Amino acid sequence: MTRSPGQDINTAPVAATAKPTRAKKKSSSKGPRLTSERVLDGALALADTVGMQDFTIRRLAAALDVKPMTIYHHIPSKEAIIDGMVDRVFAEIDRPPGDLHWKAAIAHRTRSAREVLARHPWATPLMESRSSPLPEILGHHDAVLACFRTAGFSIEMTGHAYSLIDAYLYGFALQEANMPATGGEEMADLAGGFMEFIDPGLYPHFVEFATEQALEPGYDFRNEFDYGLDLILDGLEAALVANS
């Protein structure tokens, strides 16, 4: 390389140093973008875990890793969230299959409802409490009503049938959810704690039932559901024939 006279080699021009690149800011998002669907997913999971008595927007926000007010940008109120939760529970229940005889169809739907309520025990007292016209709730009721009407039930008998079946369904689900045990070893362990304090002379029928039925191997209170449901459906069928 040539150089000008008198130019020191140490004073040759130096290439410009590149400016340091700025580190990209880390995203402040801690999880998936919040949506109304994600709010309801979280609400359902929280209620399944803690029940409705301890269900709060603050706890829901903590579960979703957001601030409480952020939730209200997607669903306007706690009541609206509960509406959506109940609507989702209804969505899990099978509607009466249209290709079955009405008794089989209603039995299928009611057994499905009982299984769903066992997964979401907090929902039982809320199922018929909502006043908002939500699609799954309306669609479910319409399908059940259609099953009765197509079978030949009058409007009046349809009302009797639907209220009778759901009173049994919700009553059984509530009782099942609150029993300390329903059968098997749990029932035997529970009974062992108080049967020794019960006087057979004062409560002979209770002791008889406990020892000869409830504490027998294989007994499970949950199995009583089908017996009661079949009894109701047989009675409704007899009433339908009598009024035809």
Average pLDDT for 52-77: 95
pTM for this model (two decimals): 0.81
* Second-level CATH architecture of 88-182+220-242: Orthogonal Bundle (1.10)
**Tell me, which fold does domain 36-76 have in CATH?**
Arc Repressor Mutant, subunit A (1.10.10)
Q: At what angle do helices 224-242 and 102-119 cross, to 10 degrees?
A: 150
In this predicted structure, the answer to whether residue 240 has a pLDDT above a threshold of 50 is: yes
- The ranges assigned to domains in the chain are 36-76, 88-182+220-242
118-133 pLDDT, tens digit per residue, is 999 999 999 999 988 8
Give the model confidence (pLDDT) of 134-193 as tens digits.
999 999 999 999 999 999 999 999 999 999 999 999 999 999 888 766 666 777 677 666
Long-range contacts of 149-153 (CB under 8 A, 24+ apart): 150/102, 151/102, 151/240, 152/240, 152/244, 153/240
